[in-house]
């Protein structure tokens, strides 16, 4: 395979890698973004509750922490960024709920720390006001610390938007490209991937859960990170009205910090943090799911296990876990020149816009020549969301293209037209369609639409149904043809094919 | 925009087709059926097995054969069919918004509506199946579509969780296709589907049936590689120390069906919290005047024949409503008593013959289903939750009931006790 040459290689197409690629695309820099999965944001980014906060909710937050500064710098950037990229951003506000005095005093300390650094938006809410704001909250709640600033977004949607906009502005993107090895030569780095070698002068290591492993390939791992696991559950939209704000609390016991909030699409997402765990283990257990459910029911008793449509886990990489949940890694490697390591841990999503700018600054410090492009286009159009259109718009759209009249995912009202748009934007798998359009994310969990999504993917990509995968690699959905498993079945099948 | 619609029916499965035909026969002029899929007939196209129509036609038909009889009749009667047409909204005043690849986007306000959306399958996390999240885990109905409509087999070593009818039918279907069904795993001490399916689809093919077991863990990624099966305790939780690992490349779930009532809720229709379907009277009218319901959207049936009969009532009543005719009163409430989970219809007038459909909560032997204090009831050798009980009560029976009775309790009691 021929060698791909680039000036800056970003390893990892999660939200930080994509944000960095987009930031770099403002300059005349030859940039390449590689991602080992077949689509953007399938690592830590997809298993994220989508909260854009001020960092003040993190009880350990300190002004001396690098990540705190990155979060605060990001606060004014996030909403305009979402507007430019047509990613929905809903300012729901955040309620730190307490059920006893000890919990209240923790919030009090947090409030004063926030005020010390100039975040003055936190205010105490009395019990009556709290129940006006959240009528389904447990009657055990005594009050809350309210911050009106935090918002919710769909992190994978923002991730995809950033990658698409970077690509529009000239970044070379390579999905399904796994970095196997990196060596430092005289003229820069030689990177071995499953898709052929890449030569590059600079590397931004945004490999997320694998950030330390990628750094170690070239002995640039002067840091230690720990994977922290969170358990998350999604509820049916039918009960979407039970929670209006981001609600969180800290109470002793397993899953000490727990959180529940609406999603931009009208579901409810809940979760518990955090336990240290093996980073490759994405499986859920009945026991931990029960803990997560019990925890959320302590806050909102009307939530029922029957309304859970999905449980999943996510990881983030925290530095120096043993010393207390500490800081991020956003720094040039002190041992290997022109190699930048990046991982935020928590709250990575909230910190992402300023972190991307900081990475570009670090690259400039390492003598990357930055010349602004005159023709940078900050805007990117989101694919159609049929369910959100007005009657008139729906009528017009179907009249233009009948595919928008064919509802494929009935739970989320996703049309064939939207699925075709997603494929044209780069979705190649069932999950790729899911993250771009919501098809299959509803209460029936693709029972109705999966077969149809597979057929549309096959048709649009010009492949057979059997080649369609859930998420790339060896995740084919349909292993055999009818009769293929019978004696002499293969010949029956080949006849059918002819 | 469109001509006036007398009866609009949402769904063209067995329920929708029966309702459409009856509505026409009862004199409704313009009857429209909306079907979101590409063909009429709902899920009958993937039910290629037999056993349909034994009661209704006295014949043993396949799903598509059963469907075709109704489609032909509906077409003869000039029922209007909208394919790839999905009703997106339904209001209390009957206003419907429909998206269709063929007809575009439209809004209509039919005189009467029949809900015939059927049901959907319960999914993995609703029943707490944990482990990895690979591909290769499908609901039984989803796999049935892959095999019988699309022409693909999801795997060659299959485990089936749940012993609902579709799961057992798929056990046989996949065995006949050359796949090996490693086990049918059921948490309850008895099978969830019909006895005839247990015998003909599981035992006759020597498929291991593991009662009182569940799947405690799913293994493999990105494709399922195995499941851990455990015995369950009385709370249906897996018991530590009983684990066995079964290798497989597909897991099918046949763990229950849920009436599909999102549109009903949108229109403000009252649902029975036990069943999840609309509360209906003997005419199958819901709590919203002019909105009727029939088939699995009301409660999940074992036999398509009963879906047809019940939906015929809904179709006929919808036509009567559209013509401004009087419908039966809701004078008497039917109350589930001892070991009765639910009863449909929820109310009766006491003036006409009525068929009561009900399910018990627990299996029992030698029982009497007692209807109030004075009516005849019915003796049964055995009852179980998976078999719907059907009681036909002639109007004459209601004459025994004291004037002014507002509710009748139905109990399942030991045969001796009256």
Per residue in B260-279, pLDDT (tens digit) is 999 999 999 999 999 999 99
Domains B7-120+258-322 and B123-255 share a fold: yes
Nearest CA in chain A to B119: A444
What's the whole-number mean pLDDT along residues A466-486?
95
Paired strand residues for B106: B98
Q: Which fold has domain B7-120+258-322?
A: FAD/NAD(P)-binding domain (3.50.50)
What residue segments make up the domains of chain B, in order of their start? Answer: 7-120+258-322, 123-255, 332-414
Beta bridge partners of B409: B335
Say whether pLDDT at A363 is over 80: yes
CA B85 to chain A, closest CA, distance in angstroms equals 7
pLDDT digits (tens, 9 = 90+) for B181-236: 999 999 999 999 999 999 999 999 999 999 999 999 999 999 999 999 999 999 99
Phi, psi of A493 (to 5 degrees): -65, -45
Residue A59 in this model has a pLDDT that exceeds 60: no
Which of A51-61 are b and which e, b meaning 16 or more Cβ less than 10 Å from the residue's Cβ? Answer: bbbbbbbbeeb
Task: State both tokens at A452.
Answer: 């149809």
HSE value, Cβ hemisphere, 13 Å, CA-based, for B281 = 21
pLDDT per residue as tens digits for the range A175-207: 999 999 999 988 899 999 999 999 999 999 999
Candidate from A386, A405, A448 with C-beta closest to B100: A405
Residue A334 pLDDT exceeds 70: yes
Tens of pLDDT, residues A406-447: 999 999 999 999 999 999 999 999 999 999 999 999 999 999
3-state secondary structure A169-216: CCCEEECCCCEEEEEEECCEEEEEECCCCEEEEEEEECCHHHHHHHHH
Domain-by-domain residue ranges, chain A?
1-88+149-223+320-382, 94-148+226-317, 386-467
**Residue A472: which of A196, A208, A177 has the closest Cα?**
A177
Cα separation, B116 vs A73, whole angstroms? 54
Residues 6+ apart with CB under 8 A from A105: none
CATH topology of domain A1-88+149-223+320-382: FAD/NAD(P)-binding domain (3.50.50)
Q: What is the mean pLDDT of residues A60-85?
A: 88
Can you state the angle between helices A416-425 and A450-461, rounded to 10 degrees?
Answer: 50
Q: How confident is the model at residue A494 (pLDDT cuts 50, 70, 90)?
A: low
Show Cβ contacts of residue B308 under 8 Å, excluding neighbours closer than 6 positions.
Answer: B14, B15, B18, B56, B70
The superfamily (CATH) of domain B123-255 is FAD/NAD(P)-binding domain (3.50.50.60)
pTM of the model: 0.94
Give the tokens for residue B199: 């015998």
> Nearest residue of B to residue A472 by CA position?
B222
Whether residue A406 and residue B265 make contact (CB cut-off 8 A), yes or no, is: no
- Tell me which of 1.10.240.10, 1.10.10.1100, 1.20.80.30, 3.40.50.620 is the CATH number of domain A386-467: 1.10.10.1100
CA distance linking residue A143 with residue B362, whole number of Å: 45
Q: For chain B, which ranges sit under pLDDT 70? A: 1-3, 416-418
Query: Once rounded to an integer, what is the mean pLDDT over residues A14-40?
Result: 98
A-interface mutation test, from B85, B150, B180, B216, most A Cβ less than 10 A away? B150
Cβ of B152 within 8 Å of Cβ of A481? The answer is yes
DSSP string, B107-139: EE--SEEEE---EEE--TGGGT--B---B-EEE
CB contacts of B107 in chain A (<8 Å) are 391
Mean of per-residue pLDDT scores for chain A: 92
Q: Are A318 and A325 in contact (CB under 8 A)?
A: yes
Q: How many CB pairs under 8 A join A and B?
A: 167
On the question of a cis peptide bond just before residue A347, with omega within 30 degrees of 0, the verdict is: yes
Is residue A495 predicted with pLDDT exceeding 80?
A: no
CATH code that applies to domain A94-148+226-317: 3.30.9.10
Q: Which of residues 385-424 of A touch B (CB under 8 A)?
A: 386, 391, 394-395, 398-399, 402-407, 410, 413, 415-416
Cβ-proximal residues to B304 (8 Å cutoff; 6+ apart), any chain: B14, B44, B52, B53, B56, B63, B66
Let me know: does B126 contact A308? Beta carbons within 8 Å.
yes
End-to-end CA distance of chain B: 60
Looking at residues A368-389, what average pLDDT do you find? 97
pLDDT tens figures, A35-47: 999 999 999 999 9
**Under 8 Å between Cβ of B295 and B118:** yes
| Amino acid A498: pLDDT | 38
Say how many C-beta atoms besides its own lie within 10 A of residue A413's C-beta: 19
């Amino acid at each position: 395979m021929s060698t791909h040459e680039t000036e800056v290689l970003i390893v990892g197409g999660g939200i930080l890698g994509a944000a960095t690629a987009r930031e770099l695309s403002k300059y005349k820099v030859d940039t390449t973004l590689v991602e080992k999965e077949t689509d953007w944001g399938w690592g830590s980014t997809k298993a994220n509750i989508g909260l854009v906060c001020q960092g003040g909710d993190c009880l350990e937050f300190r002004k001396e922490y690098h990540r705190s500064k990155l979060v605060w710098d990001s606060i004014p950037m996030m909403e305009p960024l979402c507007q430019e990229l047509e990613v929905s951003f809903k300012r729901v506000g955040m309620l730190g709920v307490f059920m006893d005095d000890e919990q209240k005093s923790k919030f009090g300390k947090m409030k004063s720390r926030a005020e010390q650094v100039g975040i003055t938006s936190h205010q105490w809410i009395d019990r009556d006001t709290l129940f006006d704001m959240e009528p389904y909250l447990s009657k055990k709640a005594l009050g809350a610390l309210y911050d009106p600033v935090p918002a919710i977004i769909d992190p994978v949607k923002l991730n995809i938007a950033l990658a698409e906009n970077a690509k529009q502005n000239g970044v070379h993107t390579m999905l399904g490209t796994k970095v196997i090895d990196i060596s430092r030569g005289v003229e820069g780095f030689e990177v071995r991937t499953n898709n052929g070698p890449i030569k590059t002068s600079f590397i931004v290591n945004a490999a997320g859960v694998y950030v330390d492993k990628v750094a170690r390939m070239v002995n640039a791992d002067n840091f230690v990170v720990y994977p922290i696991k969170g358990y998350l559950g999604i509820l049916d939209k039918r009960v979407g009205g039970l929670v209006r704000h981001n609600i969180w609390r800290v109470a002793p016991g397993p899953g000490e910090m727990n959180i529940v909030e609406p999603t931009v699409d009208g579901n409810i997402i809940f979760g518990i943090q955090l336990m240290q765990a093996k980073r490759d283990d994405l499986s859920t257990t009945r026991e931990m799911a029960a803990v997560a459910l019990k925890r959320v029911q302590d806050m909102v008793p009307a939530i029922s296990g029957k309304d859970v449509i999905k449980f999943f886990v996510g990881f983030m990489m925290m530095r120096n876990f043993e010393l207390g949940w500490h800081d991020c890694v956003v720094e040039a490697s002190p041992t290997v020149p022109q190699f930048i390591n990046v991982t935020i841990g928590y709250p990575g999503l909230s910190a992402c816009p300023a972190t991307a700018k900081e990475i570009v600054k670090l690259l400039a410090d390492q003598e990357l020549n930055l010349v602004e492009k005159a023709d940078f286009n900050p805007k990117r159009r989101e694919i159609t969301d049929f369910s959100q259109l007005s009657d008139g718009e729906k009528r017009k759209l179907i009249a233009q293209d009948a595919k928008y009249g064919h509802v494929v995912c009935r739970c989320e009202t996703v049309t064939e037209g939207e699925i075709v748009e997603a494929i044209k934007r780069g979705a190649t798998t069932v999950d790729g369609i899911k993250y771009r359009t919501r098809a299959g994310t509803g209460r029936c969990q693709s029972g109705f639409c999966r077969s149809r999504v597979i057929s549309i993917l096959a048709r649009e990509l010009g492949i057979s149904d059997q080649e369609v995968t859930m998420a790339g690699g060896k995740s084919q959905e349909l292993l055999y043809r009818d009769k293929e498993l019978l004696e002499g079945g293969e010949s029956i099948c080949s006849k059918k094919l002819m | 925009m469109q001509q006036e619609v007398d009866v609009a029916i949402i769904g063209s499965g067995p329920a929708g087709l029966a309702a459409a035909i009856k509505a026409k026969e009862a004199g409704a002029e313009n009857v429209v059926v909306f079907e979101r899929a590409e063909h009429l007939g709902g899920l009958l196209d993937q039910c290629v097995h037999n056993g349909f129509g034994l009661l209704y036609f006295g014949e043993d038909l396949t799903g598509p054969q059963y469907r075709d009889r109704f489609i032909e009749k509906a077409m003869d009667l000039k029922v209007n069919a909208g394919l790839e047409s999905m009703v997106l909204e339904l209001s209390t005043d009957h206003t419907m918004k429909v998206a269709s690849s063929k007809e575009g986007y439209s809004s209509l306000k039919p005189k009467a509506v029949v809900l015939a959306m059927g049901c959907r399958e319960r999914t993995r996390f609703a029943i707490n199946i944990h482990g990895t999240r690979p591909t290769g885990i499908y609901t039984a109905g989803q796999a049935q579509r892959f095999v019988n409509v699309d022409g693909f087999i999801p795997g060659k070593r299959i485990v089936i969780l749940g012993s609902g009818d579709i799961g057992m039918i798929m056990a046989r279907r996949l065995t006949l296709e050359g796949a090996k069904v490693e086990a049918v795993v059921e948490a309850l001490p008895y099978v969830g589907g019909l006895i005839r399916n247990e015998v003909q689809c599981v035992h006759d093919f020597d498929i291991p049936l593991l009662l009182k077991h569940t799947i405690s863990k799913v293994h493999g990624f990105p494709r399922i590689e195995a499941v851990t099966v455990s015995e369950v305790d009385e709370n249906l939780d897996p018991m530590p120390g009983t684990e066995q690992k079964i290798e497989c490349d597909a897991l099918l779930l046949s763990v229950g069906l849920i009436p599909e009532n999102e549109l009903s809720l949108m229109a403000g229709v009252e649902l029975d919290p036990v069943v999840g379907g609309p509360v209906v009277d003997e005419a199958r009218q819901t709590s919203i005047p002019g909105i009727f319901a029939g088939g699995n959207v009301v409660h999940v049936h074992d036999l398509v024949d009963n879906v047809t009969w019940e939906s015929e009532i809904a179709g006929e009543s919808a036509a009567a409503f559209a013509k401004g005719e009087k419908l039966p009163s809701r004078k008497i409430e039917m109350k589930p008593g001892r070991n009765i989970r639910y009863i449909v219809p929820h109310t009766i007038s006491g003036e006409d013959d009525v068929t009561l459909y009900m399910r018990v909560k627990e299996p029992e032997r030698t029982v009497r289903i007692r209807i109030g204090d004075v009516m005849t009831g019915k003796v049964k050798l055995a009852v179980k939750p998976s078999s719907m009980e059907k009681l036909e009560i002639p109007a004459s029976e209601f004459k025994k009931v004291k004037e002014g009775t507002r509710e009748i309790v139905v109990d399942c009691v030991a045969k001796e006790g009256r």
